[in-house]
Structure 1
Amino acid sequence: MNIFQPEYPVNTRNNNALFWFLQIIGWGLFTLLNLAGRQYFVHFHVSELINSLVLGSCLIITTSLLRKYYQSRLNSTHIVKTIGHMILASIVTACLTMMLFAVIIVPNQMAIFKSNDQLLFQQIMLSAPMIAFLVLAWSALYTMLKKQQQLKHSQQAQKHLSHSLKEAQLDVFLSQINPHFIFNAINNIRALILEDADKARDMLAHLSEVMRYTMQIDKEKLISFSEEIDIVEQYIALNSLQFEDKLTTEYNLAPETMSLLLPPMVLQLLVENAIKHGIGKLTAGGIIKITSELHQEHWLISVENSGELLAKNNPKQARSGVGLNNIKQRLALVYGKKSSFTLESSDIGVKAMMSLPR
């Protein structure tokens, strides 16, 4: 894996602009310092200005080529090998820099220095070790900045991936809502049309609201508790067609909780589970009690039913556990460890409780 070519999209234009800005500023400062040092000894001769500008320009050119080389070849999986590679590349770049500098300066030394020194080329090449040190420092700084940039992009990509995965999981969970309820509701409404057309019309309105809600909720992360209660009431009204007077519902909802937000369908899934695996197993029917209250820093939502808490090794309990695990996973995706879910026996029968942060 190339440390300078991450596998996620980056803004290449901005990166290049930043590189050239820092490149020109950095080597420009070096040129000024080099000029200041040389001018001190030669009493501000114009030849030293030319000399410093040419050297600075050569360094800009060769280190820009070195950047291209690093982008295509330098690997981060072997640290020792990488360091050795950088040292060798810096030495080669320094030699290339001084050769390019000599190609420009040596043929024009008479015009620049007003003299002709036969050993000028050798003197220039003797400066290669110092330039190699500068290029190595440039390489280390460049690598450090690129690693920091890569880490930042990697964290952003990981965060985006985690968010996308969470959204995909929520979509999967929402798609697992029991479809048999819709089929049963349609069949019950069809049978009711001949007996009570007005009631059948009301039930169709309830069914359309439930279906509209389930098709739209995947667009929202959280909804108000009042909205969730509305759809639960619609859902229970549709189920009452099948259970008739065998299904009784009680609500104990603290007013201050109605505006609080929660993941959509979690309460509906609890009620569905209570009806299917609790009331639905009782010949005489039973009661469902929905409670919402605040307790210190927690928001407690419970759904009790007249059913029986089955043993964990019971196959019916295993089927019921699929829906409950769905709820647990959805709460974990949204709240992490700040939420909890319990299922236990109660005075009524079975009590499922969610604890959510306020």
Structure 2
Amino acid sequence: MTPRFWLLHVLGWSLFALIAFIARPSEASVPDALQFLAVAAVSIGGLLASLGLRWLYRKVQADGYGELRWLGMLLVASVLAAVGVDVVVYLLLSLLAGLSPGLAALHDAQPMISRAPLLAPAFIAWSLLYLAISRQTRLAEAARHQKDLQLALKEAHLQRLLGHISPHFTFNTLNNIRALILKDPDLAREQITRFASTLRYQFTGSEDALVTVEEEMAVVRDHLSLVGLQLGARLRYSEQVDAVALHRQVPRFCVQLLVENAVKHGLGLSSTGGDLHVAIAAPAGGLRIEVRNSGQLRATDGTGTGLDNLRQRLQLSFGSDAGLSLEEQGDSVVARVWIGSAA
């Protein structure tokens, strides 16, 4: 029981004692002090009995009673509690009646069950209020639990999707370095340094589903440096990144995946290579990423595992305000990612 419960509990029964004392019948033979003590005894009994009702309600909550059964149980329990407190107070006054004429007069003026009609409505009101507050508390706790569960599932889903993408990039990089070692060991060492930076980016922050555009572009440049070893002059790369967009967040390996996809399905298939252009802008507080490459759109280009995962990660991280499209424009294929009002 929380301090708030005890505070409200004591204040409620104190208010009951005050109302009962003010509304008491006129009994000239009984001093006001004794009448107040009697009312206080009834209130203390009500306080203790209501704790018993609380124990009962909490015990049967797990049984899934319907509303009618709850109402019936509430009424019966409240009446029994009222009668029980009345009987206990009456018996207590009976034991004390011989101590003074005032107590004897008080005992005679308040026969058994005379207090129950006042106590029963109080117990019913207390029960209804307690059950209403208890229900709201359980609903709030359930909502918080559900939210925590959704966040945990979301995080687990994001990490699972990331796990599908990261090995794909890693294996391509290793293959590029292996081919380079036999041709130019010095350049291979340089590319190993780039690869080490990529691995550090991947593993030291692997629990972060979102990264900044600046971090993402660093990985893209390292990746294209490795890809350039294979394509050489066939890869003509350019970029245009707004300074405002550098600190915006995107899904990890978002731009890198689009670039890798453009090279694999576009430039890499052409004997003459082509152009690759990355443009990132931040209009109206949103973010727009465009990767354009020379080539034609194939039927399966937009349905690969990587792109499907990226679509899911965008939805999980930003909801319906984010998306991914892939379309052919003239002699180019354009992949677009939008987040927020940049759609």
TM-score normalized with structure 1 length: 0.86
Give per-residue Cα distances to partners, 1:52-79, cap 9 Å, x unaligned: 1110110111110110010011355511
1:345 to 328, 331, 335: 328
Preserved contact between residue 237 and residue 277 of structure 2 (Cα < 8 Å): yes
Q: Could you tell me how far 1:213 is from its partner in structure 2?
A: 0.8
The structure-2 alpha-carbon separation of the partners of 1:238 and 1:331, relative to structure 1 and needing over 3 Å to count, comes to: same
Question: Which stretch of structure 1 is more off in the superposition, 237-246 or 59-68?
Answer: 237-246
In 2, Cα distance between the equivalents of 1:222 and 1:40? 75
How many residues in Structure 1 have an aligned counterpart in Structure 2? 339
Question: Does residue 21 of structure 1 match 2:7?
Answer: yes
In 2, Cα distance between the equivalents of 1:296 and 1:115? 82
Preserved contact between residue 249 and residue 288 of structure 1 (Cα < 8 Å): yes
In 2, Cα distance between the equivalents of 1:41 and 1:278? 101
1:274-293 matches, cutoff 5 A: 274-293=262-281
In 1, Cα distance between the equivalents of 2:11 and 2:182? 86
Preserved contact between residue 210 and residue 250 of structure 2 (Cα < 8 Å): yes
In 1, Cα distance between the equivalents of 2:230 and 2:100? 102
Question: Does residue 336 of structure 1 match 2:322?
Answer: no
Where 1:123 maps in the other structure, the secondary structure is coil
Preserved contact between residue 281 and residue 288 of structure 2 (Cα < 8 Å): yes
2:249 maps to: 261
Question: Does residue 45 of structure 1 match 2:36?
Answer: no
1:192 to 171, 174, 180: 180
Q: Could you tell me how far 1:132 is from its partner in structure 2?
A: 1.3
Preserved contact between residue 301 and residue 354 of structure 1 (Cα < 8 Å): yes
2:48 maps to: 61
In 2, Cα distance between the equivalents of 1:30 and 1:73? 27
Where 1:124 maps in the other structure, the secondary structure is coil
Where 1:334 maps in the other structure, the secondary structure is helix
Question: Does residue 36 of structure 1 match 2:15?
Answer: no
In 1, Cα distance between the equivalents of 2:325 and 2:174? 33
Preserved contact between residue 106 and residue 120 of structure 1 (Cα < 8 Å): no
Question: Does residue 72 of structure 1 match 2:55?
Answer: no
Question: Does residue 227 of structure 1 match 2:215?
Answer: yes
In 1, Cα distance between the equivalents of 2:128 and 2:340? 47
Give per-residue Cα distances to partners, 1:309-341, cap 9 Å, x unaligned: 123xxxx447x4321121111111111121222
Give per-residue Cα distances to partners, 1:88-134, cap 9 Å, x unaligned: 11112112221222232222123365364798598231432331111
Preserved contact between residue 35 and residue 106 of structure 2 (Cα < 8 Å): no
- Structure 1, unmatched stretches of 5+, are 1-14
TM-score normalized with structure 2 length: 0.89
Question: Which stretch of structure 1 is more off in the superposition, 119-128 or 334-343?
Answer: 119-128
Preserved contact between residue 342 and residue 353 of structure 1 (Cα < 8 Å): yes
Where 2:304 maps in the other structure, the secondary structure is helix
1:82-231 matches, cutoff 5 A: 82-111=70-99, 114=102, 116=104, 120=108, 123-177=111-165, 179-231=167-219
1:7 maps to: none
- Structure 2, unmatched stretches of 5+, are none
Q: Could you tell me how far 1:85 is from its partner in structure 2?
A: 1.5
Q: Which amino acid aligns with 1:16?
A: T
Question: Which stretch of structure 1 is more off in the superposition, 122-131 or 283-292?
Answer: 122-131
Q: Which amino acid aligns with 1:33?
A: I
In 2, Cα distance between the equivalents of 1:56 and 1:140? 18
In 2, Cα distance between the equivalents of 1:297 and 1:231? 24
Q: Could you tell me how far 1:229 is from its partner in structure 2?
A: 0.6
Preserved contact between residue 90 and residue 111 of structure 2 (Cα < 8 Å): no
The structure-2 alpha-carbon separation of the partners of 1:184 and 1:266, relative to structure 1 and needing over 3 Å to count, comes to: closer
Preserved contact between residue 47 and residue 113 of structure 1 (Cα < 8 Å): no
Question: Which stretch of structure 1 is more off in the superposition, 150-159 or 327-336?
Answer: 150-159
Q: Could you tell me how far 1:346 is from its partner in structure 2?
A: 1.8
Give per-residue Cα distances to partners, 1:281-304, cap 9 Å, x unaligned: 333333321111234454211111
